[in-house]
Structure 1
Amino acid sequence: MGIAIILFLVFAGIEKAPLYGYRGSYPADGPVKTYAFPLPGTTWVACMNAVLNITFLWVPQILFPTFIAEMEKPQDFPKALAVLTAISAILFIVPPAIGFRYLGQYSTAPAFGSLGVVSYKKASFGFVIVPTLIIGVIYANVTAKFIYTWVLGKSRHTHSHTVIGWGVWGAIMVGIYLLAYIFSEVIPSMGDFLSLLSATFDSFFGFIYFAIAYWQLNRGSLFSGLGRSVNTMFNIFIFIVGLFVLGPGLYAAVEAIIADYSGSTTPAFTCANMAI
């Protein structure tokens, strides 16, 4: 993925102009412009989708319990989290900022799609395939573990090499990948797909879940002291943010998908050539 990002930044910087954006091909929407705030005429749905896409990148918390459980020294997790946060801050801020500098209003999701030269696109996308598969396997594995444990509970099949145990695991994995395939086909835009995932799942697992966990761990002493009171108010804020992402966020994601199908969107489950 790092190679893909570097290639994208280089290609975006050396090409004469981007290929297209959501509001038309270059130069239909004028020369490339960068801006700190939404342009006039930007809709609520577009703004909320941008927020949801950013939220999706920054909310991996649901993976943490599984990772902690598999660490040789779980007490080292805070150190690992600090390193992850530092690296994520660089990767999620610097490359997008540089890419936006050269693509401006022609930026798409993913940004590789805005590159003006087809060979640049293919070179960048080529190095994304393997990391994408790895990320998909990680998320599928974590999801499958939750479902697997819930289905088999404390039975001997959970930790033994039995036909039932492996059969349940295989069925869960097939179901997860089948569901992922259906969603990827039905929702035409990657950005809108991420928005839907963010509003549906990140609202709870990234915000609401941890606010409720804080309440469960500290109920009875939520305002016992200045520090605890500040933490309590902060978690109340997190809870409200989660509700906002779930409510208005889900509305915006669905509206964006409806807008996709009202335009010239390729029908779902089509055999048409979708190559770049």
Structure 2
Amino acid sequence: MDTSRASVKEFQLDAVVIDGKQPALIGATVEDVFGNEDGHQIRYKTLSWQFVALLMIAEVVSNGMLSLPSALAVVGIVPAVILIVFLGLFALFTAKLLIDFKLNHPEVHNMGDAGKILFGPVGREILSLGTILFAICACGSELSSGQQALSTLSNQGLCTMYLLLIFAVATFLCAIPRTLSHLSNLALVGAFLILAAGVVGMAGAGASPVPDRVINATISTTFYEAFLAITNPVFAYAGHSRFFMFVSEMRRPQDAMKAAWCLQGFATIFYVLFAVVIYVYIGNTVQSPAFFSLPPKWAKAAFGIALGNFLISGSLCTHTAAKLLMIRFFRHSRHVHSHTFLGWFTWILLCFGAVGIAFVLAIAVPVFSYLIGIVAALFASWYTYGVAGFFWLHDTYYLEGGRKALSRKWAGTVIAVLTVLLGAFICVAGTFVSIKLIVEAYADGLVGHPFTC
């Protein structure tokens, strides 16, 4: 299923007719997102694959890992570990399809651009909106994790709303740099911090194991409870919606797969190790986030180290939402590449708006944690898994010979279709589970009130 092409700044596709139709893509001149940057004040295509890997790790391997041990408490060690490994390999496979699509279409900067190629203007708007919503909700999730860390460190010494506001301001300030290269050094710190926090968390669990803990290799459960646990590892890998942006700012987009290997290899190994160690020492009473199950001093140490990663990951999510709109407004204009007042004013306003909306959602929506699940089910399930199948089907059809190419590569076609169907299943089942959680939370009186401490 290899459809990779050498990435170029501009190229001309041959005009061909497939099944009596000439797609808009064929015969068109395609230009790289940022074009020729020689002599520009702001240059984007400066990232090496190593720093792209760090950006991916800092963003993807963040607070998502803290919910994994609780998945083992629901389905048992063996099914959960198999699932985490499978999803890691599957995410690597879909990353390959996504990167190949980007190399074939250098004008693609985000999921919205890809949606336009696949499904036309409607697809562009839906996938763009989904990317923005998911990025803002992910930012809100990082803000909530930051608030939890600050509350733990301060022994709940300050109103949670104020702590959330403090962390939101810090996230906004970190998101202001216009290019990912200016965030790459922070990504190095963020990747190290989340690794260190996980190690400290495992050490804390090992130093203070729960007496008479219950550990299960497998656990019989209902579909609802099982899929509820499955959503934790499914969405722990949810980061593909930003991959197009990362690859667009690489010096050599052809090296993007090296970064994907680093991300998925590190994430899969670290997820399995962290989830199993925490679960083995704490047992079925493990909480989510897992650091809440540690003794106070260990919880403070782990949260204190992870705090920096939550900040950096939140700023990357903010950057994603702002960058999509910035490029949408000013693509190929001087406001993208020059220090103009309008360009900087728009950028700062977009970053402020993204963090502001995330803050309001986190503090004003009592069911925000469940809302994140719905948005992730609706969009992340497609971005990380399902839509990759469409990428392969599209490029095989339009670039390699139409229906004959799909028939000739029948194995790839079957896998691509199954990828789409799996994404659809995760979307539907994940949305159902999230909505049912909200209903149960209201029925059990577990829903709080907005703007309270």
TM norm structure 1: 0.82
Structure 2 partner of 1:205: 383
- Describe the SS at the equivalent of 2:406: coil
1:169-216: per-residue Cα shift (whole Å, max 9, x none)? Answer: 1222122112222332325575x4653342022122112322222122
2:421 paired with 1:240: yes
In the alignment, structure 1 residue 263 sits paired with structure 2 residue 444: yes
* 2:378–2:427 CA contact under 8 A, matched in 1: yes
How far, CA to CA, are the matches of 2:209 and 2:231 in structure 1?
Answer: 31
Kept in 2, the 8 Å contact 1:38–1:47? The answer is no
**Which secondary structure does the structure 2 equivalent of 1:127 belong to?**
helix
- Counterpart among 313, 320, 333 of residue 142 in structure 1: 320
Contact 1:55–1:198, Cα closer than 8 Å, also in 2: no
Q: Distance in 2 between matches of 1:171 and 1:38?
A: 49
Report what 1:217 is aligned to.
Answer: 395
One-letter code aligned to 2:208: E
Distance, in Å, in 1 between the alignment partners of 2:252 and 2:305 is 33
2:339 to 161, 168, 174: 161
In 2, the alpha carbon distance for the partners of 1:169 and 1:51 equals 37
Q: CA deviation at 1:35?
A: 2.2
Q: Which residue of 2 aligns with 1:33?
A: 214
Report how many residues are paired: 254
Change beyond 3 A, Cα 1:159–1:258: farther
Instruction: Give the alignment partner of residue 111 of structure 1, picking from 259, 269, 290.
Output: 290
User: Structure 1 residue 167: deviation in Å?
Assistant: 2.1
Structure 1 residue 240: Cα displacement: 0.8
Among 51, 58, 63, the residue aligned to 2:237:
58
Give the aligned residue type for 2:448: P
What runs of 5+ residues in structure 1 fail to find an aligned partner?
19-30
Residue 128 of structure 1: SS of its match in structure 2? helix
Q: Are 2:249 and 1:70 aligned?
A: yes
CA pair 270-15 structure 1, distance change in 2 beyond 3 A: farther
In structure 1, distance between residues paired with 2:445 and 2:427: 28
128 and 92 in structure 1: CA distance in 2 versus 1, 3 angstrom threshold: same
Taking a change above 3 Å as real, the CA distance of residues 261 and 103 of structure 1, as seen in their structure-2 partners, is: farther
- For 1:128, the aligned partner's letter is A
What's the RMSD between the two structures over aligned residues?
2.3
Residue 141 of structure 1, CA deviation? 0.9
1:34-76, CA deviations, whole angstroms, 9 ceiling, x for partnerless residues?
Answer: 2243444x560x3222222211122322222212121222222
CA distance in 1, matches of 2:443, 2:306: 30
Q: Quick one: distance in 2 between partners of 1:151 and 1:157?
A: 9
Equivalent-residue separation in structure 1 for 2:234 and 2:263 (angstroms):
16
Gaps of 5+ in 2: 1-193
Matches of 1:156 and 1:16, distance apart in 2: 59
The 8 Å contact of residues 12 and 99 in structure 1, kept in 2 or not, is answered as yes
Specify the alignment match of 1:26 in structure 2: none
2:445, 2:387 → 1: CA distance? Answer: 39
3-state SS of the aligned residue for 2:214?
A: coil
Q: For 1:202, what is the secondary structure of its paired residue? A: helix
Match of 2:435 in 1: 254
CA distance in structure 2 between the partners assigned to 1:103 and 1:195 by the alignment: 25
Instruction: State the percentage of identical aligned residues.
Output: 24
Contact conserved, 2:377 with 2:430, CA < 8 A, in 1? yes
Offset from partner CA, 1:87-137 (integer Å, 9 cap, x none): 11111111111111122221222111122x222211111111100111111
Cα distance in 2, alignment partners of residues 120 and 262 from structure 1: 34
Cα pair distance change 1:8/1:151, threshold 3 Å: same
Question: Per-residue deviation at 1:261?
Answer: 3.6
Name the CA shift for 1:258/1:77 in 2 (closer, same or farther; >3 Å).
same
